[in-house]
Amino acid sequence: MDTSKVLGVDVGGSGIKAAIIDTKTGELLSERLRVNTPKPSKPEAMATALQELVAMHQWKKGLVGVGFPAIVSQGVAHSAANIDDAWIGTSIEKVFGDAINCPIVALNDADAAGIAEMRFGVGKGKRGTVMLLTIGTGIGSALFTDGKLVSNSELGHIRMFGESAERYVSDSARKRDDLNWDEFGQRFNEYLLYVQRVFFPDLVILGGGISKKFDKYQQHFTAKFPVVPATFRNKAGAIGAAMYAKEIWEAK
């Protein structure tokens, strides 16, 4: 199996994106193509959507890395906050692998994005506890200690006001409650202060589409650790998924 190029897939609540990644440099060797996430997002429907994406890339039999928006352990989904409940207990690697006839390695989507940032982005060479938080439909987290991933950290689900924090501070919460950037910044700061109580990261990297607007809300942050925007934003998931797939495949 040639792992110098891997198809990196980023599964999200609204879209599934894929690009061919050069696993030496982390660079995109193709356009990042997208199909809509089917509604409801049941496994069979998602597998059909992935088939379409794989055909668009003319990807045949090569390794595929999938970042998936759930707890992922040994290729199996164990939660479903923003996707269909039918995924719980389902092997992402088997369902997707059977559909596209390619070997698949799956991991949590935020963990994938974190790997890209630590390898090639703003987290490169950073020691201590580094955390990537992706703000989108939900809040994803990736936790690193001296560059090593501690998988499935799920910090979007710490409790705030009796609910998962992501119900209060995600990008979908911002849109739902029609928050301006100041209001969003203040809410996100409350969240960061919660994080500070349980962890004391040396660095927090903010990812997801909203990291582009970082300068509009960062002035509200009062936590003691530095918070910086991600380097790759919406490409990080596909890059990190491909990198991870290569490593797991080669270690087999």
CA 218 to chain centre: 21
Is residue 158 helix, strand or coil? coil
Q: How far is the CB of 53 from ligand BGC (least distance, A)?
A: 18
Tell which positions 59-118 bind ligand BGC, by CB under 6 A. 69-71, 79, 81-82, 108-110
Q: Which is nearer to ligand BGC, 70 or 102 (CB)?
A: 70
- Which residues 6+ apart lie within 8 Å of 7 measured at CB? 18, 19, 20, 21, 54, 57, 59, 62, 63, 64, 65, 102, 242
Pick one of 10, 93, 154, 171: the residue that binds ligand BGC (CB under 6 A).
Answer: 154
The helix-helix angle for 109-120 and 236-251 (nearest 10°) equals 90
Dihedral sign computed on CA atoms, order 143, 171, 104, 7: negative
5 versus 142: smaller Cβ distance to ligand BGC:
142
Q: How far is the CB of 152 from ligand BGC (least distance, A)?
A: 7
Quickly list DSSP for 25-56.
T--BSS--EEEEPPSS--HHHHHHHHHHHHHH
* 8 three-class SS: strand
Minimum CB–partner distance for residue 166 and ligand BGC (Å): 6
Query: Per CB under 6 A, which region of 1-9, 18-26, 53-61, 135-143 contacts ligand BGC?
Result: 135-143
Nearer to ligand BGC, 20 or 81 (CB): 81
Distance CA 29, CA 22 (A): 6
User: Which residue bears the tokens 């040994």?
Assistant: 74
Query: Does 156 engage in binding with ligand BGC (CB under 6 A)?
Result: yes
Smaller CB separation from ligand BGC, 72 or 227: 72
Residue 73, classed as helix, strand or coil, is: strand
CB of 153 to ligand BGC, least distance (A): 9
Q: How many residues bind ligand BGC (CB under 6 A)?
A: 16
Integer Cα distance of 30 and 211 in angstroms = 23
Nearer to ligand BGC, 70 or 116 (CB): 70
CB of 58 to ligand BGC, least distance (A): 28
CB of 135 to ligand BGC, least distance (A): 9
Contact footprint for ligand BGC (CB under 6 A) = 69-71, 79, 81-82, 108-110, 134, 136, 138, 140, 154, 156, 166
